[in-house]
Structure formats: structure tokens, C-alpha cells
Amino acid sequence: MKPFAYVKPADVEAAIQAAAQPGARFLGGGTNLVDLMREGIEQPDTVVDVTGLPFDTVDDLPGGGLRIGALVRNSALAADRRVRERYPMLSQAVLSGASAQLRNMATVGGNLLQRTRCPYFYDHASACNKREPGRGCDALDGFNRGAAILGVSASCVAAHPSDLCVALAALDAVVELRGQDGTRRVPLTDFHRLPGDTPEVETVLAPGELVTAVELPPAPVAANSRYRKVRDRASYAFALVSVAAALEVRDGVVTDVCLALGGVAPRPWRATEAERLLVGGPADESAYRRAAEAELAGASTRRDNAFKAALATATIVATLRELSTGGDPR
Amino acid sequence: MSTTYADKTASATGKYVGRAVDRVDGPAKTTGEARFAAEYPYPGLAYAALVHATIPRGRLTAVDTAAALAVRGVIDVLTHENAPPMKPAPKVSFLDLSTLVSGTPVNYLATDEVHWNGQPVAVVVAETPETARYAASLVRPAYEELPAAVDFAAEEGNAVPQKGNLISEAAADKGDAPAALATAAHSVDLTFSTPPHHHNAIEPHATTAVWDGDRLTVHEAAQNIAWTRRHLAQRFGVPEKGVRVLSPYVGGGFGGKGSVWAGTLLAVLAARATGRPVRLALTREGVYHTVGGRTPSTQRVALGSDADGRLTALIHTSVSRTGRAGGMGEPITAGTRHLYASPNIHLRQNVVQLDLLANTFMRAPGESIGTFAVESAMDELACELGLDPIELRLRNEPDRDPVGGQRLAHRRLREAYALGAERFGWSTRDPRPGVMRDGRWLVGMGVATAYHPSMRMPANVTVRLGADGTVVVRCGLQEMGMGTATVQAQIAADELGVPLESVRFEYGDSDLPSGPGAGGSAQTASAAAGVLDACDKLRRTLLGLARRVPGSPLRGVRPEDLEARDGGLYHAGRGQTYAEILAAAGRGHVEAESRAGMLGFMVRTLRERRQWVRAATGAQFCEVRVDPDTMEVRVSRWLGVFDVGTVINARTAASQLRGGIVMGIGMALSEQTLIDHRDGRIVNASLSEYHVPVHADIPRIDVQWLNEPDSTMPLGLRGIGEVSITGAAAAVANAVRHATGRRVLDLPITLDKLMG
């Protein structure tokens, strides 16, 4: 690992100032950053440890929403009674990721900034536009079974690896950012950028800008929600496809739905087209399938990941079926 | 956890043999007192890190080390331009089995040639491991690239017939299998593929090397202590007696530590070059790039049968690969020679050389992937025939070896299937595919036969009995987690009739009598033969001492009539304790030795091979659940019933057998090394992306054994390290076939192969 300076500021202003310097990185739980530093993918000159800052609580918002501090550990978030009752999909999403040890370390803010697990990103011997802009992309014609099928570009097909963010995208979460110019709020669905020609730029964060909180608006529909993760082994694997869904059905008609996908796009993917088709329509399997297929219609697949469109469709249908019947899907 | 082992093994011979005795190394390991190769402290210890090539084939034109040397704490950077030369690896000879221990013939840092993507091309030595690794990332090799063949699928057509050797034939023909297949009443003809696999032992390979003049001490994670010592002496041109290899504990090997790989050689070389004790612990990625794994394979299995399901034709051909620089042709059809009676058999193994790291031994090389193909094909034939897959196997169970005609030493597959079917509830299986359900889950049940040959290697053992009743058994083997130290102590305690607590087993040191390596499931039987022989000699020596004393109750007693019990020797109720015998003889201790000469051993082995076919066998029962929406496969139940002769330790044996099944489940469902077809680079060189099974993938595994001794093996025991991975992947594939109606021919069985 390249030698680096380590600072642990006592307040948020000092942290933002320290991180505004070139070559500085915030350190939360370190579960991704330290890995990347060991691999030489990230080579910060300064690591700004923000774990001493007071952003580690989950607080009620008026109307039934929640404000989640950026330094809340994943395991604490998943165990929070309010989260489990109001947004069960969020708790399920967190628990489906990583391992207990990692969840004990990982923070909510850090989870938003997880970097892709594309194997070519991780190996310096490979070409990767995200790691080295302009070098090319070995994933395009290499192993791309895990790669994204929506929102990809000719320069990058890497998928966003987070589970938590998929649930946040479905729940209309808003990210609170603090920078040298003050505080701003960005919808989670606008926080991550699609790769385009600049896959190295993954978020809208400005230099030194710090994620301080994620706010969840009240969402009664989310009480009936589920996060379904499909992967190659039962635990400790990134999603091939995941679905975060909340559903409200009255008299056989879908009255409200929130739907987001993971494992299929460079960012957590809010399935707005499917949602639009579902609302007001029948709560039946063929309607779910039509909506899912419409969402996936724009899929751009490569050698190894063509199955993902069908898998995403099947997983959306299965998840909505479970939510509309209230039973275990299996 | 089954509690029936003790009952089931009550028929086994001795007081300790057969029991679920606690591991003697358990406390040392659970308290952290047990030291592994990377944990030995030395004053002035330096740390090494490897620089790996990033091209598959070519020549180094330069290695820019300036930036690395400029890092504070870097001691030296060794390249082909400045490293002291090693001698080349000796040629393989069956008269000196230590020649088998060379992972590849590549003479690291004595050559500018690059033979695979990931080959070490420089070594950084530094004051800390972090510094060494960081500096290694700054070394910039420059290459002249040469054309490389790295794509197995594309190169398969260039495969040539594999050469057999003394103990493994690469081809067999009996009758005319193609003609019989063409006229068979029923037939299947399937082509299977299996991907490359990699070793992921919990302890990555590590070496601590210390030179003192021409004397060398190496702490090593080694499956072959004696061979490693000899190899290092040869490579560094120093007397073998001055080389000491210490390897008491190995954190898992599975074949991956059965050879000497780059990390070992380069740690020793770096210590030689810098004059410092050097430690080189491979990174996980380093294991992938420098330690061989399992070859991929393409296999054709064609079966023909009569209307009743009796095989009339059995064809099994394979293509595997080695590195152009090293590796071994994997004996993929080896198990198929012995599995089924058929008048017509055709077996062929072909191999293609690629510009990739040499392949190597990985748990049941040959049989593990070979049984996937042949046991999947048998299941498909059963479907074709509308016959129960167990019944099909029983109808084709041979009385003698199907190819060689030898007698089968103690084959009890019928009994294994009978016991398994009852315990597993096989009769509840609806044979129609896709109809058994648990809620929405599709349920499937599959079986497959497990098969692994029983072998032995030479072993030297000494046993020393002290006047205080303590017994010291010495043998230079290692405890790799299988229970080796425990079971040999159990055997010695029974043979000498002493409490287990008074037996100390000394191992893990090349200064001890040369022990058998851990390989071919042969270590326990091999060492046991030595322990039995040494204990027998010891008893005879003690009897000789006793008989010389006037008035000894043992006067006139013949050795074969002796009973060793209660810390002494007895016959017909009369006898003496060891303390009494030694005291009367005026001796403080006695010692006996068992030595196995290589030549005599080979002659006997070859003679026995003509006489017997010996193997551990088993019946694997698997139940899966398949999600009908996503086609995710989860193994929900497992039973393995094994015929492995006498079980020495019910606890460690169960652990071994379960471990093989776990690895088999990984092979079936998730494990594969991804090698980029363009440049031969391994792209998933990590535990994150190479999917070994995690706890959540593994159900409760019920293992049973018949526990009938094989009278042709020492103590009636057969090796159990590998048999339980064989057949496992086929059992999963067959259960998936039953659950879904789909036959997956290409491992691993990922959900995308079941969709659409």
C-alpha cells in the first residue's frame, strides 16, 4: 500500500477542509476503500477519518420519515426497529450484503460510494476506463457476466454493487451533502452518474463534499416491501440481479408501487417505466411481466450477461407476486 | 451431527482405533499456540513480495527497479539481471519420487523467459511486508511479447494422446465399444465440460527461509516435507543433510501444497541473496498466479445398454491441459476403468499444452471431474431407460475389474447404496422430473457413485518406549488438518497397549524419519503401516529382553501370541509391564524403526496392482431445491455412505468426508477460475469473485461408513481424503435434472444455464 497521511478531524468543517485537498479521501468503515488501497486502485495521499463526526444516529422526521446519519453502521441500520417496520426492504437489503463483520464496520455514507466489482477494474494488468481513463475496457469482450445491461456506455459496462442503495432508490431517498459552499440535498437517484464518456466520475460529489445523511420520506406503501437478491451462492456474493419493491393493491388494482433494480446498471436503477405501467393496472402476473419487460426493453447485453434481462424480469414478477399475495414466494 | 459413529465403529479393532478421539493438536490450534510457516520470528527478518508478469508469453527486455529501490525500507530487488542462479529442476524419475515435487521447470529469475501471465519476474525484499508489496507495485518490467496459446476452448483441437505412467494408464480398450454403441438398444452420448479450479486453502502459501552458510532452515507449508528438502538442496546446490524443512502445521493443502512453487524457491533465493532471514507469504492473488490449479476438461461419455440396462458399451474420452512449462496430464478417465461391468470399453485421455501456469493436483485429480461426467451420463441413461438410477448402477456392478480383470479388494457399493437409500428416504422420490415440490421450490433427488483408488507410499517411522511408560512416535509428516497426528497416536497406543495420553507423536520436521507426503489419500495408510511395523518390532525387542531374564513370565512365549495391554505384554493372563521389563533388563528405553526402501516399495506396489484393485467407494445422495422463478439451486440435504475400510478416528474421518462433499458442492454450483481468452490472465483471483461455498450454501451433511476392514490394507483402512469429492458434482447435477428436467453438462451449474 502506498504510504499516506492519516487525519481524524474533530468537526465537520475541518473534515471538509482536509478532504478538499487533492489526493484526499474520506474514510468511514473502510470496508471498500482499504481494500482498494491494498490493491493500489485507490492511492490517496491523505485519508480523512470521519468516524469521529456526530452523524451516527437514526432520527425520526415529521410525518413518519427517517433521517439516517451517514456514519450509521450497516448492522445498526438493519436492526433499527423503525427501519424494519416502515421500510422492511431497506433492512433486508442491508442484511443481504457482505458479511456480519463487514456490516458491523461499513457505514451508510460509504455504502453510497462503493465502487464496482468488475474484475477488470481490480487488476492493474487489465484495461479499465474507470481506473485509467482512456485506456479502454477489457470487460466489453472479456468476462462480463456480472456487467450492467442498462445505462451502460461504450466505455464502461460496470455494475454498481450496492444493495442498500437499491432500496434507497426505491424509497425516494434524499442524500444530504456538506461542502465548502454549504449544504445541499440530492435525490439518491441523481447522486450516481451514468458512465457516458467519463466512467471515472461516479457521483455528483464535488471535491471535499461529504455525505452527512440520507433522508427517507414517509412512505406507507413501503410497509409492504421486500428486497430480493439473486446471486451465485447463498451469501457473500454480489447481486446478479436484485429487486427492491413496495406494493399497494386495492380491489385487485395496483394503487402504489416503488421498484428499483440492482446488479443491472451502473447505478441503483429506479424502474420508473415499470412503475408507470403498473399503477392503476391489475395486480396480476401478466401485468407484472409486461411492466418488467418494458423496463428491460432497453437492455444492452454482452457475451455473458444476456440472461440478466430475463432474470430481472422473472425476479420482478416473483417479488411483486409475493407482495401482492403476502406469502413466501417459494 | 450424527452420534451413531461410535456405535457403528464399535466393531473396529482397538481401544482407541475407531473412536471419536479429540484432535491432539486441537488445543494448540484453538489457543493460537500452534505456529504456521509465516509465524516464526527471527531477528532481522525481512519480507519478500513478488512482481508478476502481465503478459502470457515473451521475454523480459528490461526490469526498471529504480522506483522500488527508492522506497525507504527496501533492501533489494531481485530480477533475472542480478539474482544468484538456481540450478534447474531435476527431470522426473520414478526412481526418485522427490522429482515429482517441482511445480514447474521454470527457473525463476535465472531466465528472461515469461511462460505465463502472472509468472514472478522480480522479488522485492524489504523491512516490512507492506513496504515490500508497495515497492513491488512500482517495479516496471518491459517485455518483448511472443504469440501465446491460452484459450482452452480454441486449442482443444490440438490435443494429443496423453502419456501414461507406471501407476496411471491413459487409455484402455476392451472389445469394440463404438460398434457396440451403434447397435445398443439404449444409449446416451453426451459432451461435458468442467472449468479450471483453484486452490483456496485458508492459509495462503508461506515460507520463512534462513541461511547459515550452506545450511538452510525453511519453515514451510508443505505437503511433502522430505521431497521439499531434497528439491531445495538440489536447486541451491547444497548438501541435503544441511537442509531442514519444518512443516508441522499446514493450513489446508488439497494438493496445492504438494509441489514446490515459486514462493518457496524465491523466499530461499531472496534469503541467500540478501543474507537475511526472509519471509514470503503469498497474497491470495499471488496463490492464483503462482500455484497451479485444476485443469479444465472436455469429456465425452457415451453409454450403450441392452433393454434391461446392462451396459454393452462404455466410452469415456477427455481433453485436459497442462502448462507448456510443466504440469501433469490429469487422469480423468481413471475412475471409469473400474466403475462398471461392460464387455466393450473405450477410454482415452488427451492433453493440450497452453501458455498458462502449470496445472497441479487438486483433491482427487482425475476422479473428481471424471466422475462428474460418467455419473451424470449414467443418470441420463437411467432416465432414458425409465429405470431407477440406483438400480441401473447395481445391475452394472462388476465382480472383477472391468478392464484389468483383477480381483476387487472388498467392494461394498451395493451395501452402501442400500444403507443410503434407506437413510435418505429414496423410496419417497417420485421419478418423474419437475413434480416434487416444497411450496414453490422444485425439489430434486440425485445419486452418484464415489470412487478413489487406495494407495500407499513409503514411510519411515521410529517408536521409542521409555521406562516411565511414555511412547514417542517419530515420522516426518505434517498435520494438515486431517487428524494425522491424532490417528497415528491412536494406532500406536493400541498397538502397545498404553493410554493415548502417554503417546507423543513428533512430526513436521525433515530431521525426523522420512515420512509420506499428504497426497493420493495415501498418508494415513502409509504412516500406519510404518507405525504397525515399528510397534511390532518394539514388542519383539521387549519380548527378547524379557525372555533373557530368568523367571520372566514371558519366557517361552512366541511374539505372535503376545497381547499388548495395560502398559505391558501379556499372554494367557501372565505377563509384565514395560517398566518391569526395562528395569529387569537395565534399560532406560527401547526403540524400534520401520524403514521402507524405495525400490522394494515400487516393486511391491506394481505387483499388488496386478493382483488387486483397491479403492474407497461410496454412494452420494443429494437433494436440491430450485427456485422456479430465478432457477437458483440450493442443496438442501446430503448423505454420503462410504466404504472406506476401518475408520481410525470417527471425528476426523467425518470431518474429512464432509470437507470433500463441501468442495464437491462448490465444484457443482459455483467454483471456476476465469482465465481471459485474450491474454491468459486470471481475472477472478480473489475469494470475493472465486466462489467457494459459504456456510449458507451447505446443509447438514450426513456421513456414514460401513466400517468393514479391507484386509489388504494396513489395519484394514483406506485413505479417505479424496473419495468424498468424487461423485459429488454428479449427484448435484442429477438432483437438478430431477428437479427441473434439465441436464446441465457444463460446470458450474449456475442459474443462467437453467433459464429460458
Within a domain: residue A65?
A: no
Within a domain: residue A94?
A: no
**What was the pLDDT predicted at B5?**
29
Within a domain: residue A181?
A: no
Contact status, residue B123 vs residue B48, Cβ threshold 8 Å: yes
Task: Name the residue range of residue A24's domain.
Answer: 5-52
B27, three cell numbers: 488445543
Query: What residue spans of A47-149 are helical by DSSP H?
Result: 74-79, 81-86, 88-95, 100-105, 108-112, 119-122
Phi/psi at B611 (5° precision): -95, -40
Contacts of A34 in chain B (CB under 8 A): none
> Does A232 touch chain B if contact means CB atoms closer than 8 Å?
yes
Burial A294-307 (b: 16+ CB within 10 A, else e): bbbeebebbebbbb
> Does A329 touch chain B if contact means CB atoms closer than 8 Å?
yes
Low-confidence stretches of chain B (pLDDT < 70) are 1-13
> Does A138 touch chain B if contact means CB atoms closer than 8 Å?
yes
CB distance B634–A236 less than 8 Å?
Answer: no
> Does B127 touch chain A if contact means CB atoms closer than 8 Å?
no
| Closest by CA position to B618, among listed B473, B485, B449, B411 | B449
CB distance B697–A138 less than 8 Å?
Answer: no
Annotation marks residue B722 as catalytic: yes
CATH of the domain at A286: 3.30.390.50
**What was the pLDDT predicted at B96?**
85
Mean pLDDT of chain A: 96
Select the residue of A236, A307, A329 nearest B694 (Cβ to Cβ). A236
Within a domain: residue A176?
A: no
Query: What residue spans of B458-594 are helical by DSSP H?
Result: 484-496, 523-547, 578-585
A33, three cell numbers: 476503500
**What was the pLDDT predicted at A327?**
54
CB distance B691–A233 less than 8 Å?
Answer: yes
Please write the tens of the pLDDT for every residue from A86-122: 999 999 999 999 999 999 999 999 999 999 999 999 9
What chain B holds in terms of domains, given with CATH numbers, is 22-34+459-596 (3.30.365.10), 390-456+601-756 (3.30.365.10)
CA angle B205/B211/B216 to nearest 5° reads: 70
CB distance B681–A307 less than 8 Å?
Answer: no
**What was the pLDDT predicted at B10?**
38
CB distance A123–B630 less than 8 Å?
Answer: no
Within a domain: residue A305?
A: yes
CA distance B514 to B516: 7
**What was the pLDDT predicted at B9?**
36
Contacts of B694 in chain A (CB under 8 A): 233-236
Within a domain: residue A131?
A: no
CA distance A104 to A20: 28
Mutate to test the interface with B, among A228, A236, A302 (most CBs of B within 10 A): A236
Within a domain: residue A69?
A: no
Number of structural domains chain A divides into: 2
Tell which B residues from 51 to 90 touch A, by Cβ distance under 8 Å: 54
Query: Does residue B622 sit in helix, strand or coil?
Result: strand
Low-confidence stretches of chain A (pLDDT < 50) are 328-330
**Would you put residue A136 in left (φ > 0), alpha (ψ -120 to 50) or beta?**
left
Query: Does residue B720 sit in helix, strand or coil?
Result: coil
Please write the tens of the pLDDT for every residue from B296-351: 999 999 999 999 999 999 999 999 999 999 999 999 999 999 999 999 999 999 99
> Does A100 touch chain B if contact means CB atoms closer than 8 Å?
no
**What was the pLDDT predicted at B11?**
41
**What was the pLDDT predicted at B604?**
87
Q: CB-based contacts of B321: which residues, under 8 Å, 6+ apart?
A: B152, B155, B159, B295, B296, B327, B351, B352, B353, B354, B356, B359
Select the residue of A2, A240, A314 nearest B629 (Cβ to Cβ). A314
> Does B750 touch chain A if contact means CB atoms closer than 8 Å?
yes
CA distance B733 to B747: 9
A176, three cell numbers: 444530504
Q: CB-based contacts of B122: which residues, under 8 Å, 6+ apart?
A: B50, B51, B63, B65, B77, B78, B79, B109, B136, B139, B141
Select the residue of A125, A231, A233 nearest B693 (Cβ to Cβ). A233
* CB half-sphere exposure, A197, CA atoms < 13 A: 0
Catalytic residue among B375, B495, B671, B722: B722
Within a domain: residue A301?
A: yes
CB distance B678–A142 less than 8 Å?
Answer: yes
CATH of the domain at A39: 3.30.43.10
Residue by residue, what is the 3-state secondary structure of B104-165?
CCCCCCCCCEECCCCCEEEEEEECCHHHHHHHHCCCEEEEEECCCCCCHHHHHHHCEECCCE
